[in-house]
Amino acid sequence: MKIAVVFGGVSFEHEISIVSSIAMKDVLSDELVYIFLDENRDFYHIPTNTIKSKLFSSGEYKKCDKVTISKNGFFKKAGLLGKDKPIDFDVVLNLSHGGDGEDGILSSVLEFFNIPFIAPRTEACVVSSNKFLTKGYASSVDVKTIDYKYYTKGDSVTVDTFPVIVKPVRLGSSIGVAIVKTQEELDYSLDVAYEFDNAIIIEPFISGVKEYNLAGTKVNGEFKFSIIEEPQKTEFLDFDKKYLDFSRTSKAVEVDLGEELNAKVKDAFEKIYNNLFEGSIIRCDFFIVDNEVYLNEINSIPGSMANYLFSNFDTLFKSVATSLPRKKHIPVTYEYVNKIHASKGK
């Protein structure tokens, strides 16, 4: 199998996507074809044997072959005057974190051009990339979330009890997120958050809350789960700490919450994944408060694909790639138009 890893994109998580994609060389045994989407939304074919992070920071990637996208695949010029030649691959792995990748733009393009890909479909991206919509979706499938207030830029923000946590609505990797303990800190954190987004949510900050991660997918209607992991213990996993996970390939340590809570976490994951996220491998981060499971966030394209949570990610990936959801064929028959013409004698 040949896997086209599409990464980069116009996003605050652009650099994270580069790190995450390079890590796939140590995770997947199949041949990888790297296709980079730069800040101008131009595609480039990056040779797998020469890919490294400095290639992008230096701008050297622009010496690589430019790529176009059209029906059924990616194409590049065969020689200076040659025709467009298709790039050979079997499936795309969308590893563009944040904007373009996780907000549904790339998924829409790939679906439009009939290109098979592993990632959430457009509607799933819309739900998971917006924390406000995630809260509503979770509630609709009977999964608890922490109480919150939603504000847009220019709104008057009132906090009655500190500490709270301020989050931009559309960003991941803890970018723009802050724990706020005073009114002065609140004013500053709002300025920072609104630099990244025009909408925020504010939640009560629960000190010492236990967080657990579970990744999974669905193959031919059957759920496949990773281990449950308890991330490193700290007051708050900031961007710098999370950044390291995007190049992570070493296996995580499993935590056993006991039969009841293990089942509750998996049940919450199944409700979130439902059929909305078919064709993707996602990671859900949960809080456990008073023996109840709360969804914190959905990582629709997790760092390094959360490979470190699975005992055999390579095999899992292949099984997902060979059981992707198919778009329902909608026949266009012009039956209605023909009836109109027939009735008018035209």
Q: Which residues contact 27 (CB under 8 A, 6 or more apart)?
A: 249, 304, 305, 307, 313, 314
Banded pLDDT at 346 (limits 50, 70, 90): low
**Count of residues for the chain?**
346
Assess whether pLDDT exceeds 70 at residue 249. no
Residue 19's SS3 state is: helix
Q: For 90-133, give the DSSP string.
A: SEEEE---STTTTSSHHHHHHHHTT--EES--HHHHHHHT-HHH
Banded pLDDT at 342 (limits 50, 70, 90): confident
At the fourth CATH level, which superfamily is domain 127-143+207-321? ATP-grasp fold, B domain (3.30.470.20)
Q: What is the pLDDT of residue 246?
A: 53
Assess whether pLDDT exceeds 80 at residue 156. yes
Determine the average pLDDT of the residues in 299-316.
95
Q: What is the pLDDT of residue 250?
A: 78
Quick: pLDDT tens for 251-272: 899 999 999 999 999 999 999 9
Tell me how far CA of residue 149 lies from CA of 127, 158, 167, 173, in angstroms: 18, 10, 11, 21
Please give the share of the chain, as a percent, with pLDDT higher than 90. 83
At the fourth CATH level, which superfamily is domain 147-204? ATP-grasp fold, A domain (3.30.1490.20)
Of residues 202 and 341, more confidence is placed in 202
Determine the average pLDDT of the residues in 304-313.
95
Residue with tokens 């029906």: 71
First to last CA, the chain: 53
Which segment of 24-33, 76-85, 194-203, 291-300 scores lowest on mean pLDDT? 76-85
Which segment of 102-111, 239-248, 319-328 scores lowest on mean pLDDT? 239-248
Q: CATH 3.30.70.100: does it fit domain 2-119?
A: no
Quick: pLDDT tens for 176-230: 899 999 999 999 999 999 998 999 999 999 988 999 999 999 999 999 999 999 9
Residue 334's SS3 state is: coil
Distance, in Å, from the CA atom of 21 to the CA atom of 109, rounded to the nearest integer, reads: 20
Determine the average pLDDT of the residues in 11-36.
95
Q: Classify residue 171 by its DSSP letter.
A: -
Determine the average pLDDT of the residues in 140-163.
96
Which segment of 69-78, 110-119, 170-179, 216-225 scores lowest on mean pLDDT? 170-179
Domain coordinates of the chain in residue numbers?
2-119, 127-143+207-321, 147-204
Distance, in Å, from the CA atom of 274 to the CA atom of 327, rounded to the nearest integer, reads: 17
Output the pTM of the full model. Answer: 0.91
Q: Mean pLDDT for the chain? A: 92
Q: Which two tokens stand for residue 159?
A: 């906090």
Determine the average pLDDT of the residues in 12-16.
91
Tell me how far CA of residue 256 lies from CA of 234, 308, 332, in angstroms: 20, 17, 53
Cis peptide before 231 (omega within 30 of 0): no
Alpha-carbon torsion 298, 303, 309, 315, what sign? Answer: positive
Q: What is the pLDDT of residue 328?
A: 86
